[in-house]
Structure 1
Amino acid sequence: MSTSSSSSDDAKPSAASPSNASLTSSLSDTLGLSPLIERIARGAAEREFAQRLPHEEIAELKAAGFGALRLAVEAGGKGTSLTDLFTVARDIAAADSNIAHAFRNHLFQVEAALRRADHPFHAKVLALAGAHKTVGLSFTVTDSPAAGARPTRVLSRLEWNDARGSYTGSGVKVYATGNLYNDAFVGTAIESREGKTVQYVLDRGPGVGNEDDWQGFGQRATGSGTATFESVTVPASQTYPPDTPDREGAAPWKFTFHQVYLTNCIAGIVRRIAFDAVEVLRGRGRNFYHGENAHPAEEAVLQAQLGRIRAYAASIEATIDRTIAALQRAWDAIGTDAEYDAVLAASLSAAEAKIVVDDLAPQVASWLIDLGSGSAVSRRAGLDRHWRNIKVIASHNPRLYKERFLGQNRLEGRLPPTGAFF
C-alpha cells in the first residue's frame, strides 16, 4: 500500500485556512489516523507546559495500529510501504515530536523482524506488533569512553531458576527512549545453562522499572529516562538462538533506519513550525509604532518572513524525502545483487540529509519567534519547544562527524562506519 508522498505539497487542504497547508498527509486520512493525530497536535503545547507524559496518546496510537503499519493486513497491520511509514511518522512528529520519537526503537525492531520473519525471535516481535503492542530495548548501553568502543549488554547474563523453570536477569539502561510506554523488551545475553548467547523477549512485569529522569531541555516526554530490570523473569520459551552472520545480508550498514527516522522527526517539527507561523502572524493584534501597517499580517516584511519559513520547510521535507526514497530502494534491493550499492547509497544519503536538516531546521524555529516577536515568547504557547526539540534530536548523532566523514568519503573513498550511528 503506497498511496501518498510525505511532501507538504500533497497534504490535504485545511478547511480552516485558505492556503493548502495542513498538518497531516492524505495517507493519514486514508488510514483513518488524521483525527487522532490532529487531536494529539492540539494538546501538544499544553502537555509541554504541564509536563504531562503522553501515555494516553501513545496508547491510542498503539490501538490504532501505528506500530504495526508495516505488517500485512492478515498479520494485524496495514501492509504499508517503508515510505508510507515515514509519511505517517512525520505527520505524528508534526503533531508532537516526543510521541513520534518514542516509537523509533519499536519500529526499527519491526523492520529487522520483517527481513527475517521465519526466525522465532523475529516472529515473536512481529506477533507482539500485530497485537498492537510495542517493544523496547534492554541492551546497547555504551559504558566506555574509548573511541571505537562497542555497546555492552544490559542483562549480561540470564540465570536459570529451576524452581520457576525460567531465567532471571538484572541490569540498568540509561537513555531508554520510549521504554516508559513499551509492553515488552528485547536484547541479547549469555544464558547460564550452556553459556550460549541468546536473544530474548522480556514482557513488562514485576522487576521492570522506568524512571522519568531524562534531563534534556527538549524531547522531554519521550520516556528516555533510566530503565531498570531487577531479577526479571524471562521464560525459556522466550529465548532464541542469535541470528547467524549469513542472515545479515550483503551490506553491513544496518542502522540507517534510525538516522533517517530522527531526521524525519525534525522535518515534522519544521512542518509544524510552518503551520504555527500562519497562526502566529494572524494572531498578532498590535504592530510596532515604526511599522508601516496597522496590522502585523499586512506588513510586507512579516509576510516575507512567513514565505521564507514556508520555503525552507518545503525544502527540508524534500531533502528527507530524497533520503527516504534511497532507503526504500535499499529495502527493495535486499537479497539481490544490487543490495550492497543500494544500502551504501542510503547510508550516504542519510548523512547528507542530516547535515542539511540539522543546520537549517533550528534557523526556521528561530524565525518563528522573529515572526511573532514579543507575542511568541509565552511559556504556555510553547513555541520555543520547536527549537529545543530540534536541537535535542539532532544531538543524538552530531552532524560534525557526518561532515567529516562525507569529506573523507569524497576524497578517499572511505566507507561509512557500520555501527548504530550510521
Structure 2
Amino acid sequence: MSSSSSALQAAPEAELPRPAAHIIKSDAEAIEIAHRVAAELAKEAAQRDRERRLPRAELDLFSQSGLWGITVPKEYGGAFVSNATLAEVISIISEADPSIGQVPQNHLYMVEGIRLDGSEFQKRFFFDLVLKGVRFGNAFSEIGTRSVADVQTRLTPTQGGYTLSGKKFYSSGALLADWVPVVAKDERDNTVVAFVQKDAPGLTIIDDWSSFGQRTTASGTTLLDKIFVPSEYVLPHHLAFDNPTAMGPVAQIIQAAVDTGIARAALKDTLHFVRNHTRPWIDTDLEHGYEDPLSLRDIGDLQIRQHATEALLARAGKFIDKAQVEPNEDTVAAASIAVAEAKVLSTETALLAGSKLFELAGTRSTLGEFNLDRHWRNARTHTLHDPVRWKYYAVGNYALNGINPPRHPWI
C-alpha cells in the first residue's frame, strides 16, 4: 500500500459521526429489524411530509440499525442478503415513509459498485465504514444536459490525485450523508465515481428540493468547486457497464421496492378509511360503505395487483442473485428484464392505489388533516425516475426478438 493509502485508514470508532451501527448477520434478521424500524418511522411520516421536515433523527435510527450495511459481502463482515430480501427491506421502510426509503438507494447502489470494481483497499476501507453506519449520499445526475447519461462534471489529474468540478441535481440523501459519491468523467472520458467527504473544501449542498412529492429526500443541488480527491477514492464505475454485471438491475430493484412500499401504504389507508369513514351510496340500502359491492370489486382489484407486484419484485430478486453469482450476457439480461417487469407493475400499482384511495374513500378523505394525497404525490414523483414506457419496450423486444436490453443504471 502506498504512503497515501496507508493514511487513508477507516476512521476509528471515536471519529465516526454516530455510534457504530449494529451489524446484521442474516436475511431473517434484516427483515425483522426493518419492521421494527418502520414502526418508528411511520409515527410522524405524514407530519414530516406536510412540514417538509428533514428526517435527521429518523435517518440515524435507520442507518444505525444496520440496514444500510446488509449488502456488504460476507468476506468483509456483512450479511450479503439476497436481493429479494434487499427489496423487501426497502419496501417495508417505504411503506412507513417513502422519502426515507428512497434516501439509501444510491448508498446501496455504491456498495454494489464497490463490490464489483473497487480495489482491495477501497473494499476494506469503505465496507468497514458502511458496516459502522457511515452513509453515502449521491451527486450523480445533472440537469440541462442532452440526456441523463450526459455528464459534464470533470475529474482532472493533479499532484497526488484529482480535482473535481461540476454541478449536480437530484442529490437524494446528500444533505444528510457522511460521504458524497460523485459521478464524473475522467481525462479519458470514462465514467468514474469520486468519493468526497461531507466536509471537503469546495463541496456545497443546497436544500432546494421543491417537488410536490418525496418532499423530505433533500434531493436538491450539489456544487463541486475544485475539490481535491485522492486517487484511492476514485472508482472506475464504467467497468460495471462495460462488462455484464448486475449493477443496473440492483439499482432498479431498489427503485421498484420504493414504489411497492408506496402502493402498500396507499392500499392500507384506503382499507382503513373505507372501513371506518366511508358512507354507502344513496342508490343502495346498505348500512355501511364497506359493504358496497362496487367498492369491494375495486378493492379486490387493488389487492390482487399489490400481491402481483410483490411477487414480481421477489422473482426479480432471484434473477439478480443468479446474475451476481454467474455474471454473463444472458443472466444479466434476464435480471434486467425481470426487474423491468417488476418496475412496470410497481409503478402502475402505486399510482392506481394513490388515486383509487380518494375514489373509494370519498370526499372527506381529501381533507388536509389526513394528508392522504401524499401517497399519490410520492408515487408520481418517484416513478418519474425512469419511464416505464421504455420498460415495456425492453420486455417486448426481449420476448419477441431475443434482443437484450442495454446496460446502464436505468434498466
Question: Counterpart in 2 of 1:311?
Answer: 304
Tell me, yes or no, if structure 1 residue 354 matches structure 2 residue 354.
no
Identity %: 26
Deviation, structure 1 residue 107: 0.2
1:266 to 259, 267, 273: 259
Change (3 A) 1:138 1:157: farther
Question: Counterpart in 2 of 1:62?
Answer: 63
Question: Counterpart in 1 of 2:130?
Answer: 129
Residue identity opposite 1:333 in structure 2: E
Change (3 A) 1:341 1:142: farther
Question: Counterpart in 2 of 1:381?
Answer: 370
Tell me, yes or no, if structure 1 residue 251 matches structure 2 residue 260.
no
Residue identity opposite 2:299 in structure 1: L
**Cα separation, 2, equivalents of 1:40 and 1:178:** 16
Which ranges of 4 or more aligned residues in structure 1 deviate by more than 6 Å? 194-198
Tell me, yes or no, if structure 1 residue 180 matches structure 2 residue 175.
yes
1:230 to 225, 233, 258: 225
**Higher helix fraction (1 or 2):** 2
Question: Counterpart in 1 of 2:277?
Answer: 284
Gaps of 5+ in 1: 5-25
Deviation, structure 1 residue 243: 6.8
Change (3 A) 1:278 1:27: farther
**Cα separation, 2, equivalents of 1:186 and 1:357:** 28
Change (3 A) 1:304 1:413: closer
Deviation, structure 1 residue 250: 5.1
**How many residues are paired up?**
386
**Cα separation, 2, equivalents of 1:300 and 1:62:** 44
Residue identity opposite 1:157 in structure 2: T
Give TM-score scaled by structure 2 length.
0.82
Question: Counterpart in 2 of 1:14?
Answer: none
Question: Counterpart in 2 of 1:20?
Answer: none
Q: Secondary structure at the match of 1:152?
A: coil
RMSD: 3.2
Tell me, yes or no, if structure 1 residue 343 matches structure 2 residue 332.
yes
Q: Secondary structure at the match of 1:280?
A: helix
Question: Does the 8 Å contact 1:397/1:421 carry over to 2?
Answer: yes
Question: Counterpart in 1 of 2:198?
Answer: 204
Question: Counterpart in 2 of 1:152?
Answer: 151
**Cα separation, 1, equivalents of 2:330 and 2:64:** 38
**Cα separation, 2, equivalents of 1:244 and 1:356:** 29
Deviation, structure 1 residue 199: 5.4
Change (3 A) 1:199 1:216: closer
Deviation, structure 1 residue 114: 2.4
Q: Secondary structure at the match of 2:115?
A: helix
Tell me, yes or no, if structure 1 residue 372 matches structure 2 residue 353.
no
Deviation, structure 1 residue 89: 1.0
**Cα separation, 1, equivalents of 2:42 and 2:118:** 35
Gaps of 5+ in 2: 1-24
Deviation, structure 1 residue 67: 1.0
**Cα separation, 2, equivalents of 1:241 and 1:326:** 26
Q: Secondary structure at the match of 2:362?
A: helix
Q: Secondary structure at the match of 1:213?
A: coil
Residue identity opposite 1:269 in structure 2: I
Residue identity opposite 1:156 in structure 2: L
Question: Does the 8 Å contact 2:337/2:405 carry over to 1?
Answer: yes
Q: Secondary structure at the match of 1:37?
A: helix
Give TM-score scaled by structure 1 length.
0.80
Q: Secondary structure at the match of 1:380?
A: coil
Change (3 A) 1:285 1:201: closer
Deviation, structure 1 residue 238: 4.1
Question: Counterpart in 2 of 1:398?
Answer: 387
Question: Does the 8 Å contact 2:162/2:228 carry over to 1?
Answer: yes
Change (3 A) 1:276 1:110: same
**Cα separation, 1, equivalents of 2:360 and 2:282:** 16
Change (3 A) 1:142 1:314: same
Residue identity opposite 2:219 in structure 1: S
Deviation, structure 1 residue 28: 2.7
Residue identity opposite 1:268 in structure 2: G
